[in-house]
Structure 1
Amino acid sequence: MFNKATREKIYGARLVGLLALLLFMVITPGSGQELLNCLVASVDNIPVTWFDLEVLKAFNLLPGMNNEALAAEDRLEKYIDVLLVLRLTREQLQVTSEEVEAELERLKTRLGAEAFDSRCQALGLKPEDLTGYLQDKILFEKVIGTRFNQRLYVSLKEIEDYYQQVYLPEQKAAGQSPAELVIVLDEIEARLQNKLREERVKEWTRELRQRAEIAIFPECLKKIR
């Protein structure tokens, strides 16, 4: 497991990546340097920078699917939720180095070796510089899995409505032949349970926000693509 000293080194790795990109911007001056130094938000005195949001986008490290398509504002909102949850629970759960290594390998497999290397190079990162972000991702998923692990009830009518209103249009839009309801019943139930779980997580993080000191700097945020 990561002890306190190791965790400090992990978070220091983010600074290393930031400095590496800063050096690149100094060599090739332009508007990028202004963005690099841009403070997007502060969450209980934890700074969130342009660089953080770019890393999270490039490697799709936020909760949910396809975060690359999210607007910068939505990406920031998700990351604020992550930081609030981790600040509250970081000492209660641990992440091992083996878990981080396994998550890194899954990331490489998902993106493909060439795309992974290209994104690291674009941000001036080495693979090990992602450790802190991966640790946050794993820890957040552990917290949510522990706190919201009960099976959520979904009625048959909800499943039927989803099948008619969402699943069938999805399949037709994709040019595929829709399966019968009985075939995809478990899949749809899982989707609806995940949606309910996300709603409960959102309620929880709204409560956490009420007790937190959060500052968002729109002048910086609007510069992010």
Structure 2
Amino acid sequence: MSDIKLNVIYIDDEEASRDVFSEVIDDLYDDKFNVVSISPNKKLADMISVIADIQDVKSIIIDEKLSVSAKTEYKGSELSEELRNIYEIMPIYILTSQPSSLEPICGSVEYVLDKGQIEQDSYKEHVKKLLSRHIANTDALVSEKKEKYDRLLTKSMSEGLSEVEMTELESLELFRIKPLLKTESLVGEKDLEALDENDKILGELEELLASMGEKK
């Protein structure tokens, strides 16, 4: 059995807070997970790049106030919104002492964690169950998308796809490669090569579909 742990990223600009809450967050996950505590970069694009380079990430927890020590140009909620554009279904959380003020951003995060309650037993138990359920749901959805992608790709090679199926395949392909591309502003030479290769594959599939349609 592999002893490689999956990573939970925790981002906070204050070292003292990272020391304290890293242990608290570690208690929220089982022993399959490792908490990677990091300080934020000043620029949002640089922060995204750092996160993208960390392997085997299962969820991300971000402190809302990132400018106390690091003087960042963004808040945790702004970082979460950018991350949601890249990681469509990965669990993302905001950690704050004022959770009610962040309700409008709940579309980009699974949950807003209350700093004032997170060390209380009843709240901690509630959050533990929540985090576990989010990861289980994400794993199930990723597996479902992978199976559907493999099935459609295989079908495209043998009998062709309908327009609806081709659109779905393209969407699944984008879901698969988007985390590798980081953000549009960070696309580099390797990213462009990956896009070109995937465009080539999808183009060949479309040609195959068209030719099979002509034969019918």
TM-score range, shorter chain: under 0.3
TM (norm. structure 1) is 0.23
Q: With CA pairs under 8 Å and 6+ residues apart, which has the higher RCO, 1 or 2?
A: 1
TM-score by length of 2: 0.23
More helix by share: 1
